[in-house]
Amino acid sequence: MQYLSQFKQFITVILQLSKWFMIACIVGVLSGYGSAALLESLEWATDWREAHLWIIALLPLGGFLSGWLYHRYGKSVEGGNNLLLEEIHNSKKIIPLRMAPMVLFGTTLTHLFGGSAGREGTALQMAASLADQLTKIFNFPPRDRQILLMAGLSGGFASVFGTPLAGTIFGLEVLVIGTIKHKALFPCLVAAVIGDRVTLALGLHHTSYRHAQLIPTITPMALISAIVAGTTFGLVAMLFAKLTHKISHQFQSQISYAPLHPAICGLMIALLVWAIGSTKYIGLGIPTIVEAFNGYLPPWDFASKIGLTALTLGAGFKGGEVTPLFFIGATLGNALSLILPLPTPLLAGMGFVAVFAGAANTPIAATLMGIELFGIESGVFVAIACVMSYLASGHAGIYSAQHIGSGKYHFMSKEEEL
């Protein structure tokens, strides 16, 4: 009788894994195609803007158009990534399919006209909204729908950055601070791997970053330097998150008509770009990120990116936060290499992922991303930086819908923490 019961359990496990393998493959394919469309759109928008810089003067118009479209047709999806997290926490209704084309169009407008934003948020929203349409077909119960959406987050993240391991853990780790939802591990892994492979199969290539040629031995001084760097990255991540939320609150409280928020912000950014005389702080900023690994940059680059990105996203322009966080972290690491005895490429790589770890409260996903992008040799330094950044950033984060599962500090109550 015992053997019969075990056999039935085995069959149940095989059937469930087969079911979720097929579902996760579909989610991965949708994620891969969505990210490919996004990457192609942003490459076109960036190239066109850099070849026709006069279009930055029209950023207020682009901001108003984006804001008006969401005000008129997108109120049900304007919550963005926070809407996705809220639906995973508390299943209410299927995410409207219109989220995918609207956020793609809105993000392309942001980059075409010269806003400072990223792409991760767009990839997550596209992947999750496309995946959630499967709920209409299969009539998933809330528990299964939660796993479906988590797989969408993993597929979107992995396919847009080319980091399937980090994407897998991101979908599990981002929901609740201090807790990882292992029940969705298998679907998230499959969706992440398939999403990444689909994007690559479509001919899209991800940016390659320089690896540190010489990784220092873990000496007391190297360890202290990594801890200091990680703490600095976390404080900057907290600053970015709080500044973005503060700007958003100010626009909402001072100006009632939402489309005017990005329009006014667009005017401010256009004037700032004109005053600076450079476009290095708008858009994704990939050339500057790459340069941070190869030579010294002005030490204020990270601060300039913080200001322009917080203003862009806080005012309601569409786009992601993560690539700007990469820019902020890499350039901050570059600046810290002037005072800390660690190689510039290593510090740039540590900052690249650690500022993201602190701002998104996802230290494990960020550590895996660092290993995938910069090699296992940097793994210990990357992990130290990500953990210290996570601890130093407190509970401030770019995703206001994140729940707190357990406090970051075992010796303090959640109410007492930063």
pLDDT (mean) for 10-30: 92
Rounded Cα distance between 355 and 350, Å, is 8
Residue in the block written with tokens 């579909």? 26
Give residue-wise pLDDT tens across range 140-185: 999 999 999 999 999 999 999 999 999 999 999 999 988 888 899 9
Residue 360: predicted pLDDT? 96
Bridge partners (DSSP) of residue 118 are 320
Give me the pLDDT at residue 416, please: 46
Q: Describe the chain by its helix, strand, coil percentages, rounded to 5.
A: 70, 0, 25
According to the model, what pLDDT value does residue 91 have? 86
Q: Which pairs count as long-range contacts for 252-258, CB under 8 Å and 24+ apart, including other chains? A: 257/71, 258/67, 258/70, 258/71, 258/316
Name residues whose C-beta falls within 8 Å of residue 141's C-beta, 6 or more positions apart in sequence.
Answer: none
What pLDDT is stored for residue 413 in this prediction?
57
pLDDT, tens digit (0-9, with 9 covering 90-100), for 316-360: 999 989 999 999 999 999 999 999 999 999 999 999 999 999 999
Phi, psi torsion values for 403, nearest 5 degrees: -95, 160
Per-residue exposure over 16-46, b if at least 16 CB sit within 10 Å of its own CB, e if not: eeeebeebbbbbbbbbbbbbbbbbebbeebb
* Structure tokens, 397: 């984060």
pLDDT digits (tens, 9 = 90+) for 57-100: 999 999 999 999 999 998 889 889 999 999 999 988 899 999 99
pLDDT at residue 101 tops 90: yes
Average pLDDT over residues 36-58: 96
pLDDT tens digits for range 353-372? 999 999 999 999 999 999 99
The pLDDT of residue 49:
97
**With 50 as the cut, is the pLDDT of residue 1 above it?**
yes
Please name the helix (run of DSSP H) or strand (run of DSSP E) that holds residue 74, with its range, or none. Answer: none
Exposure pattern of 50-61 as b/e (b: 16+ CB <10 Å)?
Answer: eeeeebbbebbe
pLDDT at 82: 93
The identity of residue 139, as a single letter, is: N
Report the distance separating Cα 43 and Cα 108, nearest Å. 9
pLDDT band of residue 28 (cuts 50, 70, 90) is very high
User: Would you state the pLDDT for residue 58?
Assistant: 96
Please tell me what DSSP assigns to residue 179. B
Average pLDDT over residues 133-145: 92
Give residue 270's pLDDT.
96
Does this model's pTM top 0.85? My answer is yes
Give me the helix-helix angle, 260-276 and 220-254, nearest 10°: 130
| The pLDDT value given to residue 6 | 77
Residue type for position 215: I
**pLDDT value of position 412:** 56
Provide the terminal-to-terminal Cα distance of the chain, rounded to the nearest Å: 55
Q: Which residue in this structure is represented by tokens 């510090």?
A: 347
Give the integer Cα–Cα distance in Å for 242 and 225: 26
Per-residue model confidence (pLDDT) at position 37: 96
Nearest to 225 by CA among 396, 380, 408: 380
Q: Which residue has the tokens 């004109």?
A: 274
> Cα dihedral sign for 297, 298, 299, 300?
negative
Residue 13 CB burial class (10 angstroms; 0-12, 13-18, ≥19): exposed
Q: How confident is the model at residue 410 (pLDDT cuts 50, 70, 90)?
A: low
Q: What is the mean pLDDT of the chain?
A: 93
User: How far apart (Å, rounded) are the C-alpha atoms in residues 166 and 155?
Assistant: 10
What is the predicted pLDDT for the residue at 314? 95
* pLDDT over threshold 60, residue 216: yes
CA–CA gap between residue 104 and residue 396 (Å, rounded)? 27
pLDDT digit string, tens, across residues 237-270? 999 999 999 999 999 999 999 999 999 999 999 9
